[in-house]
Amino acid sequence: MQLQETSSADKISEIKLTSPAGIPFPFTIQIREELNAPTKLFSFTVIGQDSLTNERKTCHYQLDERNHKAYLNFFEKLALDFGLRLPQNRQQVKANPQFKAAYREVLSKNLHPQMLYGFGDPAVIRVPEQSNPAEALYYLLSTSNDAPHAFPIIRSRNLLDWEFVDFVFPEDQKPNWAANDELVSDYWAPEMHHISGKFHVYFVARDKETRELCIGVAKSSLPEGPFVADAKPVIKGNVIDPHVFVQDDGTAFLFWKEDNNDVWPGKLISFLQEYPLFIPALFEEKEDQITASFIASLWPWVRKLEPMERFLFNQVFIEAVIARYLFFYDRLTVLRANQSEPIQEQIQTIQQFMKTPMFAQPLSSDGSSRVGERTKIIENDLAWEAHLVEGMWVTKHQNKFYLFYAGNDFSTDQYGIGVAIADSLLGPYRKMPQPFLQSTTEWWAPGHPSVVLAPDGKPHLFLHAYFPEKAGYKQFRALLSVPIIFEGNRVVLGAV
């Protein structure tokens, strides 16, 4: 593997990458980056084998935008020219998927000009009115990604008609510890809860120094704000999707997920770059071997990019793995058994990060730190979940606890919602074997649910979803709901 990098006075960076020796499908990749451009425009010259003739050929590509659609277009062209795997979002969609659900469209447009991405990761709570506890307002918070204003708050009396209230963090009022730049910051998965007489918003943001995802908290005496963030995160490093369950006695438990799905792709690609002869042993299909060869060749440059941009470059490789995720995991186990100790240790580390466990732990009385011991709740171990579980919400009904969660790739139609059930808050949880909610012809990638009792006392599940063929990072997500019925060891959809 060779990486040659040059730069010129007019701020043009040029990089040349060559595949490591022994790789099944070698590439030479030249990258030209315009450093003075507002969004760092990239152009690529790729030399490799023609997907049909196997003869060497040269193709040129221009990445004029740095959004998810542009990256999907780039890899779609690479698939046609060199035989890489076609991105999931560019594959032919089933005309009539078997799954049916009567999703209720709650909101399909932003409610404020500074709301840029819709209602991703919607968390709704019921707040009784002080003057009349029988009456209540519903508040819902949602993800804002790298928008200038973070975490829109919307409000409703009936869960149907909503109005914009404010942002948890208006522009220039974000936490001092968190990154705050376009294509760098990621403000995700906020939840509001009433703890010890105050309203607490738990949220995800990136540490401005390390770029690691952390969980923070901001507090206010009112659900409308203003909110003031704690000076430091509740949990630092490689964690996302906070959820809080407040017991009847006021004790609060924080649930979260280790974001290992951001870790294992890099470790696996680095491993294949070092040991490219293992690519045919791990990938059966030729298109996946070509994909792994290309991504391993590109990795010395990609690894230096910001986290979400790394994901956009690596997504097609990730899809090659998760297409048969449990099978791939088992192949790693077989491969590991016959290798030297250093290689065994590398593979074991990769497999460790291919699990994304959820944990729970009690919170201190002020809600700013964890106390006691953490408990592992669930991890990805079902075929439909593939490489991750995330976006959890726990609700209690009678004497059982119901954990709703999301699984698979959030930016494709393979994403869905599952349910696990337990007799106590910390488990053990028993998963329903099939996803509870999946994509339909009308809505893609239902995810990150929350549960609330409607004014009539019946439970409703709120969730986000994309318009068909519009799934992707920073794409608009609509707010949907479905009525649900708890039936002991399972949950079923109610009548609309």
The predicted pLDDT at position 100 comes to 87
From start to end of 339-477, where are the E strands? 358-362, 375-376, 389-397, 400-407, 416-422, 430-431, 444-453, 459-466
> What global pTM score does this model have?
0.95
Query: Which two tokens mark 28?
Result: 């030479």
The predicted pLDDT at position 291 comes to 98
CA distance 190 to 144: 9
The predicted pLDDT at position 95 comes to 47
The predicted pLDDT at position 2 comes to 57
Contact status, residue 149 vs residue 166, Cβ threshold 8 Å:
no
Handedness of CA 209, 211, 216, 219 (dihedral sign): positive
Handedness of CA 49, 51, 55, 59 (dihedral sign): negative
The vertex-422 CA angle with 416 and 425, nearest 5°, equals: 100
Q: Of how many residues is the chain composed? A: 496
Residue 233 backbone dihedrals phi, psi, to 5 degrees? -65, 160
Alpha-carbon distance values, 272 to 206, 292, 323 (Å): 28, 8, 18
The predicted pLDDT at position 240 comes to 98
Question: What is the mean pLDDT for each group of 10 consecutive residues in the chain (496 residues)?
Answer: 58 91 97 76 94 93 92 97 96 71 96 98 94 88 98 97 98 95 93 97 96 97 98 96 96 97 96 98 97 98 94 97 97 96 97 98 97 98 97 97 98 96 98 96 96 96 96 97 96 88
Residues 89/95/99/101 CA torsion (nearest 10 deg): 90
The separation between the first and the last C-alpha atoms of the chain, rounded to the nearest angstrom, is: 58
Burial class of residue 238 in the structure, from the number of CB atoms within 10 Å of its CB (0-12 exposed, 13-18 middle, 19+ buried): middle
- Overall fold of domain 104-259+356-493: Tachylectin-2; Chain A (2.115.10)
Residue type at 181 in one-letter notation? D
Query: Which two tokens mark 410?
Result: 């959030």
Residue 159 backbone dihedrals phi, psi, to 5 degrees? 70, 10
Buried b (16+ CB within 10 A) or exposed e, 439-455: bbeebbbbbbbbbbeee
Spans of all domains in the chain? 2-92+284-328, 104-259+356-493
Contact status, residue 387 vs residue 322, Cβ threshold 8 Å:
yes
Q: Provide the CA 438 distance to its chain's centre, in angstroms.
A: 16
Look at residues 472, 489, 451, 264 and name the one whose alpha carbon lies nearest to residue 357: 264
Secondary structure of residue 282 in the 3-state scheme: helix
Look at residues 197, 127, 172, 174 and name the one whose alpha carbon lies nearest to residue 453: 127
Burial class of residue 468 in the structure, from the number of CB atoms within 10 Å of its CB (0-12 exposed, 13-18 middle, 19+ buried): middle
The predicted pLDDT at position 11 comes to 74
Helix (H) or strand (E) holding 3: strand 2-7
List, in order, residues 6 or more apart from 347 with CB less than 8 Å away.
271, 332, 335, 336, 339
CA distance 411 to 134: 40
List, in order, residues 6 or more apart from 364 with CB less than 8 Å away.
370, 371
